[in-house]
Structure 1
Amino acid sequence: MDKPWSKSVTLALEGPGKYTTITNTVEASWAMIEDWPLDDAPLLTRALDLCAAVAEGKKPSEDARKAFLAAAAEAEIHVQD
């Protein structure tokens, strides 16, 4: 089981007003692989790489959270505060 992030991320992955809450690195990885509106983007690739590094115990989970937020901004996905 993946360690929960210090703060979950709620974002409109399936369009405006349809929010999904991501609470850990595994959920973030699946969201980027399965539901992301971009297929190839630099910050998406970085976020996926950081998620893999977290899974391998090489990076802290908060690094993946920050990269996930950056990838969401790159994809112009609305994130709820």
Structure 2
Amino acid sequence: MRDTWTKPVILALEAPGKFTTIHNATEASWAMIEDWPLEDGPALDRALLICAAVAEGKKSPEDARRAFVAAALEAGIETKS
């Protein structure tokens, strides 16, 4: 998969302490659309746009990873890296 990250992001989406591993921009997009605790926020909006740009070949997968981590911080989601 061309959007795979060099290092996955591990975060608690469903409940504190229950971790999910996200490997790429596609999985990140689905997580932010389906499972995110916030419906709106600047970092979330930016991460969604960057993940879409990765699919179009306009941004790097690592740009999406950084934006996804920022969106998780904005949402107060527990992460492990």
Class of the TM-score when normalised by the shorter of the 2 chains: over 0.9
8 Å CA contact 2:3, 2:55 repeated in 1 = no
8 Å CA contact 2:26, 2:51 repeated in 1 = yes
8 Å CA contact 2:5, 2:62 repeated in 1 = yes
Matched AA of 1:52: A
Aligned residue runs from structure 1 range 65-76, under 5 A = 65-76=65-76
8 Å CA contact 2:3, 2:60 repeated in 1 = no
Q: Which residue of 1 aligns with 2:77?
A: 77
Secondary structure in 1 matching 2:5: strand
| Runs of 5+ consecutive residues of structure 1 not aligned to the other structure | none
| Runs of 5+ consecutive residues of structure 2 not aligned to the other structure | none
CA distance in 2, matches of 1:10, 1:59: 22
Matched AA of 2:57: G
- Please report the TM-score for the alignment, with normalisation by the length of structure 1: 0.96
CA distance in 2, matches of 1:4, 1:41: 25
**Is the strand fraction higher in 1 or 2?**
2
Q: CA deviation at 1:3?
A: 3.0
Q: Does 1:39 align with 2:44?
A: no
Aligned length: 81
Q: Which residue of 1 aligns with 2:28?
A: 28
Q: Which residue of 1 aligns with 2:63?
A: 63
Secondary structure in 1 matching 2:8: strand
Q: Which residue of 1 aligns with 2:52?
A: 52
Identity over aligned pairs, percent: 67
